[in-house]
Structure 1
Amino acid sequence: MQTARDSGAPRAGAAPWLLAAPALLLFCGLLLVPLLLTAVLSFHAFDGSQGVLATYTLANYAEVLGDSYYHEIFLRTAGMALAVTVLCVVLGVPETIILSRMKSPWRSLFLIVILGPLLISVVVRTLGWAILLGNNGLLNNALQALGIVSEPVKLVFTMTGVIIGLTHVLVPFMVISVWATLQKLDPQIEHAARSLGAPPFAVFRRVVLPQLLPGVLSGSIIVFALAASAFATPALLGGRRLKVAATAAYDEFLNTLNWPLGATVAVLLLIANIAIIVGCNRWIERRFRSVFEA
């Protein structure tokens, strides 16, 4: 009898790789190759009159890592991403729990309302927030009409306005992550805990929250990564002076034309993003595990 090896048929162990090969090639071509080229570009030297040089150097990394100007930019970026992540957790998790307990058709209606911002361009949404938060915008006009403030509150071109805009943009990602986890929960477990006399807060802390934790963590990772690398919202609501890492890299690429320095900022942003996400993910998992087992 002719074996699979003799007939030229692929072995069973190779089948998954063959099936995943098109997607893997697409992933490498659209993501890994550009990232690799950007990393290589970051090691090139730059001259103001000659442009990008063929020589390699570590001067770009030394400049970014040793300049307090870039330290401030990266710290501002991390603080912005952390604030947006916390707000998305505070707003998105209760919102998803309430949404999951609604009855049809209200559940579908409010789910569409929550996910509706994803159907609109991020630039259009950000411009809408710029109009809403402006000195003559609806929010300031309402505050002045109610007598809460005597003069307009400056929200555009401030970090507060950027955080508000990014939170509105990224809350749906938290809702989607937590919603996917909620669909796997068995409501009978919560009912059983209540029937045994557990108070509502204890039921939420010991039964519901541990099961929601994977969705919250995955949503936090998505939100933090998107907030740290966001460009349109910080550029439009933050302006030219309130720079974050993405807008700083943009300025180096298109304004000063120092592509190696812009690539260096982008690579360091990627490395910092990965390090913070992985480190926080492991720390939170250990922290919550010790709390829930106590």
Structure 2
Amino acid sequence: MRKEPYVLLTPALLLFCGMLIIPMLLVAMLSFYAFNGTTGIIPDFSFGNYITIFSDPYYGEIFLRTAGMALLVTIICLILGIPETLILARMRAPWRGIFLVMVLGPLLISVVVRTLGWSILMGRQGLINDTLLLLGLIDSPIRLTFTFTGMVIGLVHVMVPFMIISIWATLRKLDPTVEYAGRSLGGSPLTVFRRVIFPQLMPGILSGSIIVFALSASAFATPAILGGRRLKVVATAAYDEFLNSLNWPLGAAIVILLLIANIIVIMGLNRYTERKYRTIFAAGENE
């Protein structure tokens, strides 16, 4: 067995352990400590924080809101990302490069700056309300900031590029003659897309869904700015426990549960993705 690959991986592995694994283990240990408003953190092992989270409907509502928000953002990113990627793939140079830069542009701007921009646009006297009033579509300004809808809009703007990148990577590997063959055999554009293109895009779609769901579920800046103090998600609830209530053990327990939930979703979708890859490769070899 060659040792060179393991030797080359050692620095990255040590960095990964030092920057992520060890801190998360310390957070996990902290989540089992107790907390007293007078004396602070009590190094006494117990499951009290987890019992509090699972028994209190307040935290249950926060976790359900976070899961619903992440799922809705993922679905909207799929609806927007798939056709947008297909359109980009059919563009010619230099338009393809120009529009690809425009699509990826939000990633070049700080998430706080982007979110503050959305808060201005969606304000009661913002551009969106002013435009809708001018067109006569609404009679009075609608409330978009500090709402679930506002958080979803802001996160979709941030997450769509990740979905497009994932689908784009899969689409670039496809043979365009397969689509032409389907059209030449009498298939309509919708039939060719449904039976030929879409199944081959599934690995990229699932990979993009994993990224978007995980990032949306753990997002902090966008929900904090557009959701406000009352409409909390898991990340903002953990932040409040750490810095406002100073209940670090409870905040650590919230973080660990969020991490576990993300790992379960990622592992489930990852297995499904691997099966799709094997199915596609097996079908290609049989042909």
- Report the TM range for the smaller structure's normalisation: over 0.9
1:213 aligned residue (202, 206, 224): 202
Question: Structure 1 length normalisation: TM-score?
Answer: 0.91
* 1:164-223 Cα distance to aligned partner (Å, 9 max, x none): 000000100001101111111110111112112222222111211111100000000000
Aligned residue type for 1:223: V
Q: Does 2:215 match 1:226?
A: yes
| Number of equivalent positions | 279
Tell me how far 1:285 sits from its aligned partner.
8.0
Task: Tell me, yes or no, if structure 1 residue 121 matches structure 2 residue 124.
Answer: no
Query: What's 1:94 paired with?
Result: 83
> Could you tell me how far 1:280 is from its partner in structure 2?
4.9
CA deviation after TM superposition for structure 1 residue 282, in Å: 4.9
The equivalent residue for 1:247 is 236
Counterpart of 1:58 in structure 2 is 47
Output the aligned Cα RMSD.
1.7
**Hey, what does 1:156 align to over in structure 2?**
145
Aligned to 2:69: 80
**Distance in 1 (alpha carbons) for counterparts of 2:171 and 2:276:** 22
- Give the Cα–Cα distance (whole angstroms) in 1 for the partners of residues 76 and 129 of structure 2: 22
Counterpart check, 1:26 vs 2:28: no
Aligned to 1:197: 186
With 193-202 and 148-157 compared, the bigger mean Cα shift is at 193-202
1:286 & 1:14 partners in 2: Cα distance?
31
User: Partner letter of residue 43 of structure 1?
Assistant: F
- The one-letter code matched in structure 2 to 1:195 is S
SS of residue paired to 1:46: strand
Identity %: 63
**Mind listing any 5+ residue stretches in structure 1 that lack a counterpart?**
1-11
**Residue identity matched to 1:158:** T
Find out whether 1:106 has 2:95 as its counterpart: yes
Q: CA deviation at 1:278?
A: 3.0
Q: TM-score, normalised by structure 2?
A: 0.93
| 1:270-291 deviation line (CA, Å, top 9, x unaligned) | 11122233335556888997xx
Structure-1 separation of matches of 2:208 and 2:276? 18
Q: In structure 2, the residue corresponding to 1:43 is in which secondary structure?
A: coil
Candidates 71, 76, 85, aligned match of 2:60: 71
Unaligned runs of 5+ in 2: none
Deviations 1:56-108 (A, max 9, x none): 11100100011100000000000000000000000011101100110000000
Q: In the TM superposition, what whole-angstrom CA distance separates every residue of 1:124-145 from its partner, at most 9, and x where no partner exists?
A: 0000000000000000011111
Could you list the structure 1 runs, at least 4 aligned residues long, displaced by more than 4 angstroms after superposition.
280-289
Q: Which residue of the other structure, out of 168, 173, 177, is the alignment partner of 1:184?
A: 173
- Tell which deviates more after alignment, 83-92 or 48-57: 48-57
Which residue number in structure 2 is paired with residue 265 of structure 1? 254
Q: Is 1:41 aligned to 2:30, yes or no?
A: yes
For the 8 Å contact 2:234–2:258, the answer to whether it is kept is yes
Counterparts of 2:76 and 2:253, CA distance in 1 = 30
User: Would you say the 8 A contact 2:223–2:233 is kept in 1?
Assistant: yes
The answer to which of 160-169 and 32-41 deviates more is 32-41
Alignment-mate amino acid for residue 179 of structure 2: E
Greater gyration radius: 1
Contact 2:70/2:217 (8 A) holds in 1: yes
What amino acid maps onto 1:71 in structure 2? Answer: G
Cα pair 2:203 2:276 within 8 Å, conserved: no
In structure 2, what residue type is equivalent to 1:165? G
Q: Secondary structure at the match of 1:13?
A: coil
Please show how residues 158-177 of structure 1 align to structure 2 within 5 Å: 158-177=147-166
Write the distance in 1 (CA, Å) between the matches of 2:170 and 2:41: 48
